[in-house]
Structure 1
Amino acid sequence: MCRPVSDEEFLRKEIDAVEHQAAKRIDPGTGALTISIAVLALLVSLMLPWVGQHSGLRVVLGESAMFLPRLFSFFALGVGVLGSGVTLAVRRWGLAWVCSLGLFAGSIIGVLSIWTQQTTTSNKTIGPGPGIGLIIAVIAVVVLLVKWVKIAASRPPQL
Protein backbone atom coordinates (compact mmCIF):
# COMPACT_ATOMS: atom_id res chain seq x y z
CA MET A 1 0.00 0.00 0.00
CA CYS A 2 1.07 3.53 -0.63
CA ARG A 3 1.44 5.75 2.33
CA PRO A 4 -0.14 9.19 2.07
CA VAL A 5 2.21 12.04 1.26
CA SER A 6 2.25 14.75 3.89
CA ASP A 7 1.99 18.40 3.02
CA GLU A 8 5.57 18.95 4.11
CA GLU A 9 6.91 16.23 1.80
CA PHE A 10 4.82 17.55 -1.08
CA LEU A 11 6.11 21.10 -0.53
CA ARG A 12 9.73 19.86 -0.25
CA LYS A 13 9.44 18.02 -3.58
CA GLU A 14 7.86 21.04 -5.24
CA ILE A 15 10.57 23.37 -3.91
CA ASP A 16 13.29 20.97 -5.07
CA ALA A 17 11.74 20.83 -8.55
CA VAL A 18 11.58 24.63 -8.78
CA GLU A 19 15.18 24.91 -7.58
CA HIS A 20 16.31 22.35 -10.15
CA GLN A 21 14.58 24.30 -12.95
CA ALA A 22 16.05 27.61 -11.76
CA ALA A 23 19.57 26.13 -11.72
CA LYS A 24 19.35 25.53 -15.49
CA ARG A 25 18.64 29.20 -16.27
CA ILE A 26 20.96 32.16 -16.65
CA ASP A 27 20.47 35.77 -15.69
CA PRO A 28 22.58 37.93 -18.00
CA GLY A 29 21.74 41.10 -16.07
CA THR A 30 23.33 44.20 -17.58
CA GLY A 31 25.38 41.95 -19.87
CA ALA A 32 22.26 41.57 -22.02
CA LEU A 33 22.58 45.23 -23.04
CA THR A 34 26.22 44.76 -24.06
CA ILE A 35 25.29 41.63 -26.00
CA SER A 36 22.48 43.48 -27.77
CA ILE A 37 24.78 46.36 -28.73
CA ALA A 38 27.42 43.93 -30.06
CA VAL A 39 24.76 42.11 -32.11
CA LEU A 40 23.62 45.46 -33.51
CA ALA A 41 27.24 46.28 -34.40
CA LEU A 42 27.49 42.93 -36.22
CA LEU A 43 24.35 43.69 -38.21
CA VAL A 44 25.57 47.21 -39.09
CA SER A 45 28.96 45.83 -40.15
CA LEU A 46 27.21 43.79 -42.84
CA MET A 47 26.49 47.02 -44.72
CA LEU A 48 30.13 48.17 -44.58
CA PRO A 49 32.99 46.92 -46.80
CA TRP A 50 34.64 43.68 -45.65
CA VAL A 51 36.85 42.49 -48.51
CA GLY A 52 37.84 45.20 -50.96
CA GLN A 53 34.59 46.86 -51.97
CA HIS A 54 32.43 43.83 -51.12
CA SER A 55 30.11 44.47 -48.20
CA GLY A 56 29.60 41.90 -45.48
CA LEU A 57 26.25 40.98 -46.98
CA ARG A 58 27.89 40.23 -50.32
CA VAL A 59 30.51 38.10 -48.57
CA VAL A 60 27.74 36.10 -46.88
CA LEU A 61 26.00 35.61 -50.21
CA GLY A 62 29.22 34.33 -51.80
CA GLU A 63 30.10 37.20 -54.13
CA SER A 64 33.61 37.30 -52.70
CA ALA A 65 35.97 34.41 -53.45
CA MET A 66 37.73 34.74 -50.08
CA PHE A 67 37.17 31.61 -47.99
CA LEU A 68 37.99 32.74 -44.44
CA PRO A 69 35.92 35.96 -44.46
CA ARG A 70 32.95 33.98 -45.75
CA LEU A 71 33.41 31.29 -43.08
CA PHE A 72 33.70 34.04 -40.45
CA SER A 73 30.49 35.62 -41.70
CA PHE A 74 28.64 32.34 -41.12
CA PHE A 75 29.97 32.14 -37.56
CA ALA A 76 29.20 35.81 -36.90
CA LEU A 77 25.64 35.56 -38.17
CA GLY A 78 24.88 32.03 -36.99
CA VAL A 79 26.35 32.12 -33.51
CA GLY A 80 26.80 35.85 -32.92
CA VAL A 81 23.40 37.08 -34.03
CA LEU A 82 21.08 34.07 -34.12
CA GLY A 83 22.67 32.12 -31.25
CA SER A 84 22.86 35.16 -28.99
CA GLY A 85 19.25 36.05 -29.68
CA VAL A 86 17.97 32.55 -28.97
CA THR A 87 20.10 32.23 -25.84
CA LEU A 88 18.88 35.56 -24.47
CA ALA A 89 15.31 34.49 -25.19
CA VAL A 90 15.39 31.05 -23.53
CA ARG A 91 18.17 31.76 -20.97
CA ARG A 92 19.68 28.28 -20.74
CA TRP A 93 23.16 27.47 -19.45
CA GLY A 94 23.82 24.95 -22.18
CA LEU A 95 23.11 27.48 -24.91
CA ALA A 96 25.35 30.03 -23.20
CA TRP A 97 28.22 27.52 -23.44
CA VAL A 98 27.38 26.76 -27.08
CA CYS A 99 27.54 30.49 -27.84
CA SER A 100 30.84 30.77 -25.97
CA LEU A 101 32.45 27.92 -27.89
CA GLY A 102 31.05 29.02 -31.25
CA LEU A 103 32.17 32.59 -30.71
CA PHE A 104 35.63 31.37 -29.68
CA ALA A 105 35.97 29.58 -33.02
CA GLY A 106 34.47 32.59 -34.80
CA SER A 107 36.89 35.03 -33.20
CA ILE A 108 39.88 32.94 -34.27
CA ILE A 109 38.55 32.69 -37.82
CA GLY A 110 37.82 36.44 -37.79
CA VAL A 111 41.37 37.35 -36.77
CA LEU A 112 42.68 34.95 -39.42
CA SER A 113 40.38 36.64 -41.96
CA ILE A 114 41.93 40.00 -41.23
CA TRP A 115 45.43 38.51 -41.29
CA THR A 116 44.93 36.77 -44.65
CA GLN A 117 43.73 40.06 -46.15
CA GLN A 118 46.98 41.75 -45.05
CA THR A 119 49.64 39.15 -45.86
CA THR A 120 51.80 39.25 -48.95
CA THR A 121 53.90 36.73 -50.85
CA SER A 122 56.79 37.81 -53.12
CA ASN A 123 55.71 41.44 -52.78
CA LYS A 124 52.34 40.68 -54.37
CA THR A 125 49.25 41.45 -52.40
CA ILE A 126 47.12 38.36 -51.86
CA GLY A 127 44.04 40.08 -50.59
CA PRO A 128 42.54 43.50 -51.14
CA GLY A 129 42.91 44.31 -47.44
CA PRO A 130 40.38 44.12 -44.64
CA GLY A 131 37.52 46.58 -44.76
CA ILE A 132 36.25 48.54 -41.79
CA GLY A 133 33.16 46.30 -41.62
CA LEU A 134 35.28 43.17 -41.15
CA ILE A 135 37.27 44.82 -38.37
CA ILE A 136 34.10 45.99 -36.60
CA ALA A 137 32.59 42.51 -36.95
CA VAL A 138 35.66 40.84 -35.42
CA ILE A 139 35.65 43.28 -32.50
CA ALA A 140 31.93 42.66 -31.95
CA VAL A 141 32.47 38.88 -32.00
CA VAL A 142 35.28 39.19 -29.43
CA VAL A 143 33.05 41.34 -27.20
CA LEU A 144 30.28 38.73 -27.49
CA LEU A 145 32.77 35.98 -26.67
CA VAL A 146 33.91 37.73 -23.49
CA LYS A 147 30.34 38.37 -22.35
CA TRP A 148 29.08 34.84 -23.03
CA VAL A 149 32.08 33.21 -21.32
CA LYS A 150 31.54 35.45 -18.31
CA ILE A 151 27.84 34.56 -18.17
CA ALA A 152 28.37 30.83 -18.80
CA ALA A 153 31.14 30.55 -16.21
CA SER A 154 29.17 32.37 -13.53
CA ARG A 155 26.97 29.38 -12.72
CA PRO A 156 27.09 28.61 -9.02
CA PRO A 157 28.15 25.07 -8.02
CA GLN A 158 25.38 22.55 -7.53
CA LEU A 159 24.77 21.43 -3.97
Structure 2
Amino acid sequence: MSETAGAGAELARTERELLRRFDPGSRALVIAGVMLVLVLSSVLPWVGGAAGWQVLVGQADPALHVGLLPRLFSINSTIVGIAVGALALVTRRWAIAWIAALAGVVVSFEGVIAIWSRQTVPNAGPGIGLVLAVVCMFVLAIQWLRIVWSRD
Protein backbone atom coordinates (compact mmCIF):
# COMPACT_ATOMS: atom_id res chain seq x y z
CA MET A 1 0.00 0.00 0.00
CA SER A 2 2.78 2.46 0.86
CA GLU A 3 4.45 1.83 -2.52
CA THR A 4 1.21 2.72 -4.27
CA ALA A 5 0.80 5.89 -2.19
CA GLY A 6 4.42 6.85 -2.88
CA ALA A 7 3.97 6.28 -6.60
CA GLY A 8 0.75 8.32 -6.56
CA ALA A 9 2.48 11.20 -4.80
CA GLU A 10 5.36 11.04 -7.27
CA LEU A 11 2.90 11.03 -10.17
CA ALA A 12 1.03 14.04 -8.74
CA ARG A 13 4.30 15.96 -8.25
CA THR A 14 5.40 15.17 -11.82
CA GLU A 15 2.02 16.28 -13.15
CA ARG A 16 2.24 19.61 -11.27
CA GLU A 17 5.75 20.15 -12.63
CA LEU A 18 4.60 19.51 -16.20
CA LEU A 19 1.65 21.88 -15.83
CA ARG A 20 4.07 24.69 -14.91
CA ARG A 21 5.87 24.40 -18.24
CA PHE A 22 4.91 25.32 -21.80
CA ASP A 23 6.11 24.14 -25.18
CA PRO A 24 6.57 27.11 -27.54
CA GLY A 25 6.96 24.91 -30.62
CA SER A 26 7.88 26.84 -33.75
CA ARG A 27 7.15 30.14 -31.99
CA ALA A 28 10.45 29.71 -30.13
CA LEU A 29 12.32 30.17 -33.40
CA VAL A 30 10.26 33.26 -34.27
CA ILE A 31 10.85 34.73 -30.80
CA ALA A 32 14.59 34.03 -30.96
CA GLY A 33 14.82 35.61 -34.41
CA VAL A 34 12.92 38.73 -33.34
CA MET A 35 15.11 38.98 -30.24
CA LEU A 36 18.16 38.94 -32.53
CA VAL A 37 16.67 41.70 -34.69
CA LEU A 38 15.95 43.67 -31.50
CA VAL A 39 19.61 43.38 -30.51
CA LEU A 40 20.72 44.39 -34.00
CA SER A 41 18.41 47.42 -33.94
CA SER A 42 20.56 48.84 -31.17
CA VAL A 43 23.38 49.55 -33.65
CA LEU A 44 21.05 51.51 -35.94
CA PRO A 45 20.24 55.21 -35.38
CA TRP A 46 17.45 55.78 -32.85
CA VAL A 47 17.50 59.54 -32.36
CA GLY A 48 19.32 61.64 -34.92
CA GLY A 49 22.74 60.03 -35.28
CA ALA A 50 22.69 58.32 -31.88
CA ALA A 51 22.57 54.54 -32.04
CA GLY A 52 20.29 52.54 -29.77
CA TRP A 53 23.13 51.36 -27.55
CA GLN A 54 24.17 55.00 -27.02
CA VAL A 55 20.63 55.87 -25.97
CA LEU A 56 20.60 52.81 -23.69
CA VAL A 57 23.80 53.69 -21.83
CA GLY A 58 23.16 57.45 -21.87
CA GLN A 59 26.05 58.39 -24.15
CA ALA A 60 24.05 60.08 -26.89
CA ASP A 61 25.09 63.57 -27.95
CA PRO A 62 23.55 66.07 -25.49
CA ALA A 63 22.71 68.35 -28.43
CA LEU A 64 20.15 65.76 -29.59
CA HIS A 65 18.09 66.15 -26.39
CA VAL A 66 17.18 62.46 -26.39
CA GLY A 67 14.85 62.79 -23.43
CA LEU A 68 13.40 60.30 -21.01
CA LEU A 69 10.99 58.30 -23.17
CA PRO A 70 13.42 56.87 -25.76
CA ARG A 71 15.89 56.06 -22.99
CA LEU A 72 13.19 54.41 -20.87
CA PHE A 73 12.04 52.40 -23.88
CA SER A 74 15.60 51.29 -24.61
CA ILE A 75 16.06 50.08 -21.04
CA ASN A 76 12.69 48.34 -20.83
CA SER A 77 12.92 46.75 -24.28
CA THR A 78 16.30 45.32 -23.33
CA ILE A 79 15.01 43.97 -20.03
CA VAL A 80 11.66 42.65 -21.30
CA GLY A 81 12.41 41.87 -24.93
CA ILE A 82 15.74 40.20 -24.42
CA ALA A 83 16.28 39.22 -20.76
CA VAL A 84 12.76 38.17 -19.74
CA GLY A 85 12.11 36.61 -23.15
CA ALA A 86 15.31 34.56 -22.98
CA LEU A 87 14.52 33.52 -19.42
CA ALA A 88 11.04 32.39 -20.46
CA LEU A 89 12.41 30.40 -23.40
CA VAL A 90 15.07 28.73 -21.27
CA THR A 91 12.90 27.89 -18.25
CA ARG A 92 9.64 27.39 -20.18
CA ARG A 93 7.63 28.48 -17.15
CA TRP A 94 4.10 29.81 -17.60
CA ALA A 95 4.57 32.55 -15.03
CA ILE A 96 7.59 33.99 -16.83
CA ALA A 97 5.82 33.70 -20.18
CA TRP A 98 2.91 35.72 -18.75
CA ILE A 99 5.35 38.36 -17.52
CA ALA A 100 6.99 38.49 -20.97
CA ALA A 101 3.58 38.82 -22.65
CA LEU A 102 2.09 41.50 -20.43
CA ALA A 103 5.29 43.50 -20.03
CA GLY A 104 5.84 43.22 -23.79
CA VAL A 105 2.49 44.89 -24.45
CA VAL A 106 3.33 47.72 -22.03
CA VAL A 107 6.81 48.24 -23.50
CA SER A 108 5.38 48.19 -27.04
CA PHE A 109 3.07 51.09 -26.27
CA GLU A 110 5.89 52.80 -24.42
CA GLY A 111 7.87 52.58 -27.67
CA VAL A 112 5.03 54.15 -29.64
CA ILE A 113 4.99 57.02 -27.15
CA ALA A 114 8.79 57.31 -27.49
CA ILE A 115 8.41 57.66 -31.27
CA TRP A 116 5.63 60.20 -30.82
CA SER A 117 7.76 62.20 -28.37
CA ARG A 118 10.52 62.46 -30.97
CA GLN A 119 8.08 63.74 -33.60
CA THR A 120 6.74 66.54 -31.44
CA VAL A 121 10.06 68.26 -30.78
CA PRO A 122 12.00 70.38 -33.26
CA ASN A 123 15.17 68.31 -32.72
CA ALA A 124 16.09 65.06 -34.44
CA GLY A 125 13.17 62.73 -35.08
CA PRO A 126 12.97 58.98 -34.55
CA GLY A 127 15.48 56.85 -36.42
CA ILE A 128 14.98 53.54 -38.19
CA GLY A 129 16.44 51.65 -35.22
CA LEU A 130 13.82 53.01 -32.83
CA VAL A 131 10.99 52.16 -35.22
CA LEU A 132 12.42 48.68 -35.80
CA ALA A 133 12.74 48.11 -32.04
CA VAL A 134 9.09 49.07 -31.51
CA VAL A 135 7.99 46.69 -34.28
CA CYS A 136 10.09 43.93 -32.68
CA MET A 137 8.46 44.55 -29.30
CA PHE A 138 4.98 44.33 -30.86
CA VAL A 139 5.88 41.04 -32.56
CA LEU A 140 7.35 39.66 -29.32
CA ALA A 141 4.27 40.72 -27.35
CA ILE A 142 1.97 39.04 -29.88
CA GLN A 143 4.01 35.84 -29.90
CA TRP A 144 4.09 35.65 -26.11
CA LEU A 145 0.36 36.34 -25.91
CA ARG A 146 -0.30 33.53 -28.38
CA ILE A 147 1.80 31.18 -26.23
CA VAL A 148 0.12 32.05 -22.94
CA TRP A 149 -3.37 31.88 -24.47
CA SER A 150 -2.64 28.40 -25.81
CA ARG A 151 -2.60 26.83 -22.36
CA ASP A 152 -5.07 23.98 -22.12
Instruction: Tell me the TM-score normalized by structure 2.
Output: 0.91
Q: Deviations over 1:25-79 (max 9, x none)?
A: 0111100001001100110000000001000000001134321110000111001
Gaps of 5+ in 1: none
Gaps of 5+ in 2: 61-65
SS of corresponding position for 2:86: helix
Distance 2:75 2:149 in 1: 25
Q: Deviations over 1:74-108 (max 9, x none)?
A: 11100100111111111100000111121111101
Match for residue 114 of structure 1?
115
**1:8-157 to 2 correspondence within 5 Å?**
8-64=4-60, 65-119=66-120, 125=122, 127-156=123-152
Q: Deviations over 1:133-159 (max 9, x none)?
A: 001100000000001111112222xxx
Indicate the larger mover: 101-110 or 136-145: 101-110
Distance 2:6 2:104 in 1: 43
Relative to its length, the structure with more helix (as a share) is 2
Q: Which amino acid is the alignment partner of residue 35 of structure 1?
A: I
SS of corresponding position for 1:146: helix
Q: Once superposed, which parts of structure 1, at least 4 consecutive aligned residues long, lie more than 3 Å away?
A: none
Compare CA radii of gyration and give the structure with the larger one.
Answer: 1
